[in-house]
Structure 1
Amino acid sequence: MFLHDALARGLVRYLTTEVPATQRRVPNDGERLQAEVRPGDVLLVEGRTRISRVIQVLTQSSWSHAAMYLGDTLLRWGGPHADAALERFGAEAGRLLIESDMREGVRVVPLSTYLAYNLRVCRPQGLSRLELDRVLEEMFRHLGYRYDRQNIFDLGRYLTPFHLLPARIRRRPLYLGSSSSREIICSALIAKAFYKVDYPVQPEVRGPDRGLLARHPSYIMPRDFDLSPNFQVLKFHQAAGQRLALPGTP
């Protein structure tokens, strides 16, 4: 167990190291984003770490991370997590995201954490206030959960030079979030919360008995929110042609 934990910590440090060459395409309009984003919106992030690059390659998408916007919901509902967020983030605790982080597990962070990243917002359509509250409640229920460690080793296996892997491991298919604690991967956690109110991220498929089945949350990736017909895609970028103020210019 000690060796397993030590290996996991080493892989986490490696996978969460930022790598160069992230291209910032269009700057975000931070003021408009903070004014218009709503609780329940899913924020897609183009990450800058090694794990982000792996997910982007595996899913053929720019989006490597997903978080859900809470706004001030956690503060209004109260409790120990709300007190801790208020103490840690101060005024920014009124604009929180909830996410699953490889280092810290399921946690809350301020929206400002990702304002300098390439972003996209996906808004669920047609949810009632009661349904949205149930989705948020399910997300809160996982606060403090640890990130799926099997996923860490899967990613480490993917990064290992192919010829160095034993044949039995080489043949094993790689699925992100494939262990028993599937809900702890960022996008799977969010998908599971929406499934609580029968709100699928992707269209349902027909099972062996010809009944309709929703795709298991384990197989929902960040890009699936972008492609979903049930989510409206919103972009909060600075307008095309808008001049950017450069340091030292009037």
Structure 2
Amino acid sequence: MQLVKTLASWLTNWLMQESQDISSPQCDFERIRHEVKPCDVLLIEGRSRVSNVIKQITQSPWSHAMLYIGRVHDIEDDRVREIIKESYDGSPDEQLVIESELGFGTVVHPLSRYEGNHLRICRPNGLSYGDSQKVVHYAVSRLGLDYDVRHILDLARFFFPYAVLPRRWRSSLFESSPGQETKTVCSSMIAEAFSFIHFPILPLVKLDSQHGVQLFQRNPRLCTPRDFDYSPYFRIIKYPFLDYTHHSDYKLLPWHGHGALEGKEAEFYMTPSKIKELQQVKIDGINVTGTDLLSENRDTPPS
């Protein structure tokens, strides 16, 4: 038994090890930190080995989801605040998230833990304050549950054609077992919280000529981080690291300089000299250069 625990611990640490190649920041963490609201779902583009596995399975850059609950004093219910304090002993002014993570289970972490990561806010449209508190309460009730590693394997099998898999390999996502309620994964836990108040993520919409429209909640165990990004019921909020919307022109972004690409960066990005080559392209005999466009006043719409 001790050997099994040792191997499991080693495997968990190996899967959670993050890549040493730290990419450039894609979002403005300070703006996200100031704009995020309780009950927002935050998506993360993880850099660990298990994150890469989840990305491959779901065919999405988002490998993890967490629920923002605000600060401790944002919670109205005294009992819920006490449960959070039992799980997190940091500053009461710290912004907190609830997440289910391999190696930790369902826990409370400070939002600052994810500074430097690529984040995206998914905000439930029209969610009332009362229901947002219920979602937070449900998530808090899941604190302490283990992370369900088998669920990831089941989800992977679910993406294969059902008929070609042997019965013993088929997904058990719809089956119940005695220990099922003691384990969960990140997106499933959050999906359950929203299902608790009948808030849609990706429901089945059925039209009936006699009874009109009816929605059916999707099985929360089928939910992946990308579903919150794809859902029409969540508003996507982005805060890029360099945001030209607060300036007059995206052309004022710092494209030119003396910086150089390093290592594999040259395989994915273009230097200013390559951009100049691209700008000399001719389309149907027309020289589409920046100078020509300016001389023809192409930046303004025709009158």
Fold match, TM over 0.5? yes
User: Residues 26-175 of structure 1 correspond to what in structure 2 (within 5 A)?
Assistant: 26=26, 28-73=27-72, 76=75, 77=78, 78-82=81-85, 84-85=87-88, 87=89, 89-90=90-91, 93-151=93-151, 154=153, 172-173=169-170
User: Residues 224-239 of structure 1 correspond to what in structure 2 (within 5 A)?
Assistant: 224-238=227-241, 239=243
1:115 CA displacement: 1.9
Provide the C-alpha distance between the structure 2 equivalents of 1:54 and 1:236, rounded to a whole number of angstroms: 26
Residue-pair matches, total: 227
Residue 16 of structure 1 corresponds to: 16
1:159-200 per-residue CA deviation (whole Å, 9 max, x = no partner) reads xxxxxxxx969x724688987537611000000000001012
1:200-227 per-residue CA deviation (whole Å, 9 max, x = no partner) reads 21132459xx964221001100000000
RMSD: 3.2
Gaps of 5+ in 2: 158-164, 208-212, 245-251, 255-303
Say if 2:212 is the partner of 1:213: no
Provide the C-alpha distance between the structure 1 equivalents of 2:73 and 2:224, rounded to a whole number of angstroms: 25
Tell me the SS of whatever aligns to 2:236: strand
* Amino acid in structure 1 at the alignment position of 2:221: S
Q: Quick one: structure 1 residues 90 and 51, their matched pair in 2 at CA, closer, same or farther if it must change by over 3 Å?
A: same
* Identity in percent: 36
Larger relative contact order, structure 1 or 2 (CA cutoff 8 Å, min sep 6): 1
Q: Quick one: structure 1 residues 14 and 179, their matched pair in 2 at CA, closer, same or farther if it must change by over 3 Å?
A: farther
Q: Quick one: structure 1 residues 224 and 6, their matched pair in 2 at CA, closer, same or farther if it must change by over 3 Å?
A: same
* Amino acid in structure 1 at the alignment position of 2:36: V
Gaps of 5+ in 1: 159-166, 244-250
1:122 CA displacement: 0.1
Provide the C-alpha distance between the structure 2 equivalents of 1:186 and 1:177, rounded to a whole number of angstroms: 18
Provide the C-alpha distance between the structure 1 equivalents of 2:58 and 2:216, rounded to a whole number of angstroms: 22
Tell me the SS of whatever aligns to 1:200: coil
Provide the C-alpha distance between the structure 1 equivalents of 2:229 and 2:25, rounded to a whole number of angstroms: 18
1:49 CA displacement: 0.6
Provide the C-alpha distance between the structure 2 equivalents of 1:11 and 1:176, rounded to a whole number of angstroms: 23
